[in-house]
Homo-oligomer: A and B are copies of this chain.
């Protein structure tokens, strides 16, 4: 087997299992040994590929978390009849995935953001970048929807994007352990009435 390919495969296995355990137990509560034990790999292998636990986690953020969030919450925004339905569909779908996942521990971004939102560190920077990408895509979708006549001109798109992201982060935290199905339904209903209120109606100043 090609050596570089082997390197990539090993690193990917470590990252995948690392994210799984970090997500389930938290970064600080998960030891490097624990990850390696499940993979039957040694510490030597780990520190041959990554220079530290933190470096390892940053590579997980950029290589896996980034892609997952993008695939689940950003890309789906390009589909859908209208901007509002694209947003509702993407979020509703993400919540369905969470609801039917017995091991759901919340929104991966919010979890780590919370864990690292203490006294400046590098990691939080990378996490915020991902949130920012979601945010700017939401904003531009809303703005386009406004230009195309789907959304009232009275809507402030930046404000709306912030509100949508905040509410999604919160509901994912609330859903964990609680009766996820009910909470999801309650949330989606209110999200819809919030977003539907943006459509048309006040055909304001051009």
Contact = CB atoms under 8 A, between A and B. Distances in A.
Interface string A31-42: 000000000000
A205 interface: no
A12 B124 CA distance: 33
A125 B17 CA distance: 28
Copy number in this complex?
A: 2
A19 interface: no
Interface string A185-206: 0110111011001000000000
A170 B177 contact: no
A85 interface: no
A44 interface: no
* Interface hub of A110, A131, A167 (most chain B Cβ within 10 A): A167
Interface residues of A, number: 46
B118 A115 contact: no
A111 B190 CA distance: 24
Contacts of A29: 28, 118
Contacts of A118: 24-26, 29, 105
Given A159-B190, A166-B187, 20 more contacts: A26-B28, A29-B118, A106-B117, A111-B117, A117-B177, A124-B177, A156-B186, A156-B189, A159-B186, A160-B190, A162-B190, A163-B171, A163-B186, A163-B187, A166-B167, A166-B168, A168-B170, A170-B170, A170-B171, A194-B194
14 contacts: A24-B118, A26-B118, A105-B118, A106-B117, A110-B114, A114-B115, A124-B177, A159-B186, A162-B174, A162-B186, A165-B174, A166-B170, A168-B170, A194-B194
